[in-house]
Structure formats: C-alpha cells, structure tokens
C-alpha cells in the first residue's frame, strides 16, 4: 500500500494526498445515520489529467475509488464502504464557460452550487440555474449524478434533465465526452440527436465514472420572485390542489409540507407556491390566476391562503435554511430523509405513513414534497431529526427510514439517492431483464469494480 | 359570565338599523337591514351570517352600543358557519395558544403590553417610553384574544380572555398600557360585553402618547407633512378614542387629510378579507384605499396597527406614500429616528 501512497503523491503532489488519521476520519462519514468506514487515502485533484492518472492507478491496482462532492447526500453515498481512495473534487471548481444566448454553463466537476449562483448573479443577472435546497457548498456534478432536484424542477424536471453535456473519466481512465461536446466546441445537448449516453452515468452515483466537466442549462432569472402559501386540513385534497396549480403552467416551484411543530403548523398541509415576473403586473396577474385556481377550496372552507407578512422572507430564501433548524429540534443536529419519487395521487398514503412511522419509532418528523416536471411525479421526503449523541434514537430513525423505503417500493415508487441497502431492496424488486442490462453496463464500464464499490453492486 | 350582554328589545325598536345599513361590504335596504338583523337576534339563518367580512364596524355603527358584531359572531359559531377556511381558523387558534413562552420585563404597577406582536415591542422605546419600556410583556399569555372574533370563535375568546387577565393579575399590576387597539378594545369592550371583570386599568396608548407629547412639547418640531390615516378594525371597538389620532397629528404638525375612506367610512386593511373572501375583494379594497390616499395628496400613511402597516406598506409605497406608525411619527417630531418602512 505504500507504493500506492507514493504513486498518488507523484501524480498529485504531497499536499493533495493524505492518509493521516484525522483526515481519514472526516472522509469516513457523512451527516446521516449510516456507520462510518475509513478510506485508505484521500486525494484532491485539480485537473482532469490528474483524475485520469489516479483512476488509471486504481484500475491497475484494483483499488476502490470514491468520487466525492461535498458529501451532503445524507445517505452514505460517499462513505468508502470498501476503503480505498476518496477523491475530493472540490478543487476543480472553475466555471469554464457561460453561453449567454444558448443559456448553458460548463463547470468543472467540483464546482459548488454557491459558486455558480454567485457567478451568475455577478455577471449574468438575468440567468439562473436550478438551485437545490442544500447547502451552497454542495456540488453541481454530485447533484446531477444522483438525479437531484432544485428550484426549477417543477418547471423543467430533475436537475439531471438539465445536463447539456458531460466529460467523464471512465473507470479504465479513458476521458470521454458525452453529447454535443463530443463533436465540437458547444455544450448544448447531452444526447439528442445522438444516442443518449448520459444515461450510463446519471443516476449511477459515481459507480461508472467521474464527472470532470458538466454542461448545465440556465434559465431566465426574472426580476421578481413571490410566494403564496395555501393550507388545507384535508390531505385527500392535496393531489387535486397540485393538479389545479400545475395546470396553470407558470409556477416556478411547488412544494407541500407538513410537520407537527411549531404548533401553528400542526394538522395542516401547506402548499408553497412560487412564481416570478419581470413586472408587478406580471406577478399580480399570476397571483390572481393562482387564487382563482384554488377558489373552489376556499368556497368550501377546506383551504385558504395564509397571510405571509412574517414568513415571506424565510420562504423566499435560496437555499432555505429551515431544514437546518428542523434538524436541531431534538438537539444534536441529526437529519436524514428517505425521498422516494412517486405519483402525486399517492400523497395521502405517504402522509399517513410518515405519521405512522414517527409514532411507531418515537421520532420527530417533518415532511416535504416537491412537484417534478409539471406534475408527472413528486419527490416525497420522509424526514426525521435526531440527536447524534443518542445512538438509540439514531437506530430508531434508521429503522423508520428502512421501513419507509419498503413502503415506497410497495407503492410503486422509486427511492431517491438510495443508500446501499435501499439499492439492494430496489434491485430485488426490479424486472430481471432490467437488472441484467444494468449488469452488462456496469461490467463493461467498470470491469474491476473499482468505482464506489458497495453502491449499485449489480454484479 | 360567558353570556353576551345583548338586549334584543333595543334591536327590535331600532329606528335606523345602522349596523347593517352602513355596512361597507354588504348592501341592504333599510327595512331589509332591520329584518336581517332581527333574524340574527332570533337565532334564525341570515345572509349576514354568511357574508359578514368581520370588519368590526357595526360595533361602532350601532347607536345603542348593543354589540351587533359580537352577536353575529356568536350566532355563526352556534350554527357552525365558518368565516375563514377551516385550516386558517385552526392555525390561528394553534398559533396563539399559550405555550409558556411569554416574556416579562421589570414590571411593577404598570405593564406595557405588546400583545403577541413583536413589532410593537420595538416601537415602545426612546424618550416617549423611557419610564415604562422596561415593563414590557409579550407572548400568547398576554395576548388579547379578540382576533378570534374574525373567525367567529367566540368560545376561544371567552376561554382565553379570563386567563390573560389572570396572567396580568399575577404580575400585580394596576395598569396595563395597551399598545394595540385590539387589547384596549378587548378589556374595555369585549370584557364588559361579556361581564368579565378586569382588575386593572387599561390605558390606551394614544392617551399616553398625547400626555407624553405635551410633556415633551419643547422638543417638538412640527413635521409639516400631509398624511392619510389607516384606521384599524379594532378601533371600531373604541370609537370614543378615534379623535386622538387627529389630536396627536395636530400636536406634531401633521395635516390629516380629508378623504373618502376615513372615520366611520374607513376601509379595513383587508388582510382579513383575504382569508374570509379571497383575492379579489381584498385587492379591490386595498386598491381603492390606496388610490384614495393618493388622490388626497398624502405623503405619509399613518398606521395605528402593525398588521395593517405590514399589509399595506408595499402597496402604499408603490403609490409614493411613506408608511409610518403613529409612534414613529411622534418620535420623528421630537427628533428621534422614526421607522418609515419602505
């Protein structure tokens, strides 16, 4: 193993390689409930060529390698389950291009959401990207690799749907461009009209390659953002409310949330409706349509709009910090959620399950759902807060989350950013021929199974 | 206790039916107004019970002080007629529940009540409040429950008001300086209407302001600005105090402009109309109100209630009108920094 350490230093330099216990400790864990596992080395490359050489070394020596963004997925996706090398991508943080007219950006594989947001605000204030409600240090590449969502997901789909091209270091060390950049200098399409090879990498959680460049769609950044908050106490009405709202085809984002604390939120389902405009007239026109769409629920007194004087600023925050506050309600700052992708019409069943699990395992819940792509599906988060200093509470949360995943699969849902156990549950239920296809892909791309082993272990 | 002191004979013999005749949100002919009110009095169904916007104004319009608004709210609750949507109603009940999170300053004989409105605590500062600011109390434990009349939840009002009074009583106070009309209106109007004893003397903050301005008259520099006044719903519970606005503005050199929607004819800020009726009426009322202020030539809109201020500030500012609370206006007049919200 000393040879590998020396080889890594030769590739990256001494300051970009570590095997000291204190650094390995940090890279052995994430903020979720899964137990840590130590890597053998941590490396922090600055260039695609360095990534390539490290991957070639790992492939040659059959050493596991785990690409890492900011490690905030919460489901242990960058815990090095089989040791080896954790590759921290955060030093590759340059914005390489913004094509203003074609509305896309090309960023390096460790570029954070916050860096791109700030760059656009400073230089292209009329453009934006789909910012997730995660800390701004989380990375764009990691987000799209796990089919993340963001503020524009309601309009345009998963953030991975917004990818316009990739540069990937394959497990063999080959550098491969995906989409229009494979034919020329432009990053406007990840697939069409070519065969869409991005599917070999998006959603694979770093098990088929390492993203060193990502092309990402940008969207108009309207001058004004506004929000309305509709509440109902009838859970069965939530799908209808969302159907009416998505029919308007003009919302920025659409979330549903419910939680027992603080008391003012107890017993109600809250639908947060975001919309934008370049003028007051545009915003007020949209507000009127939103109110009109839900007037029938107001007429029956089953739902109404909350006054927002004291909450508006918090709701318009991007990203929102409310999740961090929720995580600390039981003190100890722990938070994890299962976030299956599912049908909106199943909202009532999921909502009932969250409460059932919270009671059964004596844990504090909060739940939030985000509408995806105009209502084709939603991400339903079953979230629990816990005290990191309380192993028993962490154990109960883990049991609750496992049961939530089983429930989601029973309901025909798809686990989002599943941990390795949830991946196993998913594969057990998968159509055998689909699983066989996954096996073929994985075997051919990663013959020595070095990429983030333990995850998507189809073979 | 709990029974509304209401005299049905007064309504039966009422020559004006002003309570409904003057209503700004429902239209009645004189005979019809009388008939509908008598239906309410007799416990029958009436369109009043379905269409009332809960603006409180009929409490002022009634020439006999017979509490038509409280009666309408009682009847609505008896019949299970919701004003606002059910989840909004329950949210207000939950949000204002006592949870032991009150804040109590250095209270002796006088407490200053900022109700459950953080903005009020910030207003009561500076030279005007220097002798009482430390006696601030805040929280659901000290919140007057009048807001629940908007939701026809009179049972909540009657359940919570004695507890609030008892919480003040436990502090041993002789006076409570009320920074919100809703509080003063609760202790002087609702409590009396229901025969609830108030063991302390409620002090209306505009009386206090006027006294303090008189004491500080050497420091006053007339502001020489023109202002419209946004009268809050709860001022309808204490119409005898309405003149104080003009009295104060005269002292600080502010011209209170004459306009269509003022005094008895005031329009509500419409935040509650949003919940009760929806966007269209609320928007219409707000726009008429702001347009009226603009037409009158107002430079400032003077607010009495922080909730009104929060609701109308943006719309007023877009019309070029500076929103300011009357306390901040007084502070400006004595050379302290006022809080014009933009």
User: Residue A329 has what pLDDT?
Assistant: 76
Residues B234, B245: Cα–Cα separation, whole Å: 14
Which of B86, B277, B305, B319 is the best mutation test for A, with the most CBs of A within 10 A?
A: B86
Residue B340 has pLDDT above 70, yes or no: no
Distance from B85 to chain A by nearest Cα, in Å? 4
- Identify which of B131, B141, B140 has the alpha carbon closest to the alpha carbon of residue B106: B131
Q: What is the largest CA-CA distance in chain A?
A: 74
Residues A316, A160: Cα–Cα separation, whole Å: 24
Cβ neighbours of residue A395 closer than 8 Å, sequence gap 6 or more: none
Residues A383, A364: Cα–Cα separation, whole Å: 8
Categorize the per-residue pLDDT at B33 as very low, low, confident or very high, splitting at 50, 70 and 90: very high
Residues B62, B53: Cα–Cα separation, whole Å: 17
Alpha helices in A319-390 (DSSP H): 322-327, 347-361
Q: Is residue B98 part of a domain?
A: yes
Find out whether A42 and A27 touch, Cβ atoms under 8 Å: yes
Q: Is residue B3 part of a domain?
A: no
CATH code, domain carrying B286: 3.40.50.1860
Distance from B9 to chain A by nearest Cα, in Å? 34
- Using DSSP's 3-state secondary structure scheme, residue B171 falls into coil
Q: Is residue B2 part of a domain?
A: no
The rounded mean pLDDT for chain B is: 95
Residues B242 and B325 in one domain: yes
Looking at the structure of chain B, the number of domains it has is 3
Residues B200 and B248 in one domain: no
Above pLDDT 90, what percent of chain A?
A: 86
Above pLDDT 70, what percent of chain B?
A: 98
Both tokens assigned to A79: 């815990």
Residues of A with CB under 8 A from a CB of B: 231-233, 263-268, 280, 287-288, 291-292, 295, 297-298, 301-307, 309-310
Residue with tokens 């409904």: B20
User: Residue B30 has what pLDDT?
Assistant: 82
Which of B88, B272, B284 is the best mutation test for A, with the most CBs of A within 10 A?
A: B88
CATH code, domain carrying B196: 3.40.50
User: Residue B306 has what pLDDT?
Assistant: 94
Residue with tokens 């030093």: A91
User: Residue A66 has what pLDDT?
Assistant: 98
Judged by CB atoms closer than 8 Å, whether chains meet at B91 and A268 is answered as yes
Residues A102, A104: Cα–Cα separation, whole Å: 6
User: Residue A2 has what pLDDT?
Assistant: 54
The rounded mean pLDDT for chain A is: 95
- Encode pLDDT of A360-419 as tens digits: 999 989 899 999 999 999 999 988 888 888 999 999 999 999 999 999 999 999 999 999
| ipTM attached to this prediction | 0.90
Residues B115 and B71 in one domain: no
Domains of chain A from N-terminus onward: 2-88 (3.30.43.10), 95-220 (3.30.465.10), 224-410 (3.40.462.10)
- Identify which of B333, B336, B313, B331 has the alpha carbon closest to the alpha carbon of residue B323: B313
Which of B87, B119, B139, B271 is the best mutation test for A, with the most CBs of A within 10 A?
A: B87
Q: Which residues of chain B have a CB within 8 Å of the CB of A302?
A: 85-87
- Encode pLDDT of A443-459 as tens digits: 999 999 999 999 999 88
Q: Is residue B86 part of a domain?
A: no
Residues B13 and B75 in one domain: yes
Residues B279 and B233 in one domain: yes
Q: Which of B205, B237, B266 is the last residue of a domain?
A: B205
Judged by CB atoms closer than 8 Å, whether chains meet at A297 and B84 is answered as no
Residue B342 has pLDDT above 50, yes or no: no
Residue B263 has pLDDT above 70, yes or no: yes
Q: Which residues of chain A have a CB within 8 Å of the CB of B274?
A: 305, 307
DSSP classification of residue B179: S
Residues B287 and B318 in one domain: yes
User: Residue A77 has what pLDDT?
Assistant: 95
Residues A42, A87: Cα–Cα separation, whole Å: 6
Residues A191, A183: Cα–Cα separation, whole Å: 11
Q: Is residue B88 part of a domain?
A: no
Q: Is residue B339 part of a domain?
A: no
Residue A308 has pLDDT above 90, yes or no: no
Residues B113 and B152 in one domain: yes
Angle at A213 between CA A209 and CA A218, to 5 degrees: 125
User: Residue A385 has what pLDDT?
Assistant: 86
DSSP classification of residue B266: P
User: Which among B99, B274, B279 is the nearest to A307, CB-wise?
Assistant: B274
Average pLDDT of B244-267?
A: 97
Q: What is the largest CA-CA distance in chain B?
A: 59
Residue B247: C-alpha distances to residues B242, B253, B258, B326 (Å): 9, 10, 15, 12
User: Residue A203 has what pLDDT?
Assistant: 97
The boundaries of the domain holding residue B250 are: 216-333
Residues B199 and B221 in one domain: no
Single pTM value for the model: 0.93
Both tokens assigned to B153: 């939840």
Residue B341 has pLDDT above 50, yes or no: no
Average pLDDT of B225-244?
A: 98
Residues B195 and B220 in one domain: no
Neighbours of B306 (CB within 10 A): 22
Angle at A371 between CA A367 and CA A375, to 5 degrees: 140
- In this structure, the strands spanning B225-230 and B254-256 are parallel
Q: What is the DSSP string of B228-280?
A: EEE--GGGGG-GGGTHHHHHHHHHTTEEE---SS-GGGPPP-SHHHHHHT-HH
């Amino acid at each position: 193993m000393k040879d590998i350490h020396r080889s890594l230093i030769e590739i990256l330099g001494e300051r970009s390689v570590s095997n000291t216990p204190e650094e390995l400790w940090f890279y052995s864990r994430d903020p979720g409930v899964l137990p840590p596992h130590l890597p053998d080395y941590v490396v922090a490359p600055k260039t695609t060529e360095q990534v390539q050489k490290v991957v070639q070394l790992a492939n040659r020596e059959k050493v596991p390698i785990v690409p890492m963004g900011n490690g905030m997925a919460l489901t242990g996706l960058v815990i090095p389950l089989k040791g080896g090398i954790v590759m921290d991508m955060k030093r590759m943080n340059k914005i390489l291009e913004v094509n203003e007219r074609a509305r896309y950006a090309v960023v390096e594989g460790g570029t954070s959401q916050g860096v791109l947001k700030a760059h656009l605000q400073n230089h292209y204030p009329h453009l934006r990207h789909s910012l997730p409600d995660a800390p701004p240090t989380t990375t764009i590449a990691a987000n799209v690799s796990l089919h993340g969502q963001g503020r524009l997901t309601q309009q345009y789909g998963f953030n991975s749907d917004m990818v316009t091209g990739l540069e990937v270091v394959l497990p063999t060390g080959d550098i491969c461009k995906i989409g229009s950049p494979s034919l020329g200098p432009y990053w406007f399409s990840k697939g069409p009209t070519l065969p869409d090879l991005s599917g070999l990498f998006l959603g694979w959680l770093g098990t088929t390659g390492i993203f060193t460049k990502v092309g990402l769609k940008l969207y108009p950044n309207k001058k004004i953002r506004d929000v309305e908050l509709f509440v109902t106490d009838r859970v069965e009405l939530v799908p209808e409310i969302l159907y009416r709202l998505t029919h308007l085809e003009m919302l920025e984002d659409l979330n549903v949330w419910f939680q027992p604390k603080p008391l003012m939120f107890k017993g109600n389902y809250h639908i947060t409706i975001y919309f934008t405009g370049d003028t007051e007239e545009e915003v007020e026109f949209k507000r009127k349509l939103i109110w009109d769409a839900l007037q029938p629920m107001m007429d029956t007194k089953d739902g109404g709009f909350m006054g927002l004087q004291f909450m508006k600023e918090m709701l318009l925050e991007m990203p929102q910090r409310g999740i961090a506050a929720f995580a600390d309600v039981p003190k100890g700052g722990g938070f994890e959620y299962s976030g299956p992708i599912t049908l909106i019409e199943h909202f009532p069943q999921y909502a009932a399950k969250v409460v059932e699990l919270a009671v059964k395992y004596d844990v504090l819940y909060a739940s939030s759902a985000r509408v995806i792509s105009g209502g084709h599906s939603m991400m339903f988060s079953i979230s629990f807060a816990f005290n990191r200093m309380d192993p028993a509470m962490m154990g109960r949360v883990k049991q609750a989350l496992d049961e939530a995943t089983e429930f989601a699969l029973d309901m025909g849902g798809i686990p989002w950013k599943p941990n390795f156990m949830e991946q196993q549950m998913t594969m057990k239920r998968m159509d055998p021929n689909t699983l066989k296809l996954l096996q073929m892909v994985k075997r051919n791309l990663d013959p020595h199974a070095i990429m983030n082993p333990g995850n998507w272990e189809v073979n | 206790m709990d029974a509304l002191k209401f005299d049905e004979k007064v309504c039966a013999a009422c020559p004006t039916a002003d309570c409904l005749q003057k209503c700004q949100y429902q239209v009645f002919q004189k005979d019809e107004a009388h008939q509908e009110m008598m239906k309410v009095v007799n416990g029958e169904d009436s369109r009043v019970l379905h269409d009332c916007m809960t603006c409180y104004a009929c409490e002022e319009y009634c020439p006999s002080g017979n509490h038509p608004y409280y009666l309408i709210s009682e009847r609505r609750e008896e019949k299970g007629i919701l004003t606002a949507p059910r989840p909004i109603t329950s949210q207000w009940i939950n949000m204002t529940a006592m949870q032991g999170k009150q804040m109590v300053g250095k209270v002796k004989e006088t407490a200053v009540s900022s109700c459950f409105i953080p903005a009020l605590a910030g207003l009561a500062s500076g030279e005007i409040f220097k002798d009482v600011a430390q006696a601030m109390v805040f929280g659901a434990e000290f919140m007057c429950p009048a807001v629940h009349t908007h939701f026809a939840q009179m049972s909540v009002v009657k359940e919570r008001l004695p507890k609030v009074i008892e919480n003040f009583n436990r502090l041993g106070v002789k006076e409570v300086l009320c920074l919100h009309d809703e509080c003063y209106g609760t202790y002087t109007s609702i409590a009396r209407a229901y025969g609830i004893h108030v063991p302390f003397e409620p002090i209306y903050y505009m009386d206090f302001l006027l006294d303090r301005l008189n004491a500080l008259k050497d420091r006053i520099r007339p502001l020489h600005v023109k202002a419209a006044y946004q009268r809050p719903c709860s001022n309808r519970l204490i119409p005898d105090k309405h003149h104080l606005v003009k009295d104060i503005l005269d002292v600080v050199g502010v011209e209170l402009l004459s306009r269509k929607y003022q005094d008895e004819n005031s329009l509500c800020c419409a935040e509650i109309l949003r919940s009760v009726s929806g966007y269209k009426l609320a928007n219409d009322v707000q726009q008429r109100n702001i347009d009226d202020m603009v037409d009158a030539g107002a430079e400032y809109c003077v607010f009495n209630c922080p909730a009104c201020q929060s609701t109308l500030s943006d719309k007023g500012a877009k019309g070029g009108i500076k929103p300011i609370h009357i306390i901040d206006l007084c502070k400006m007049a004595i050379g302290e920094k006022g809080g014009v919200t933009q």
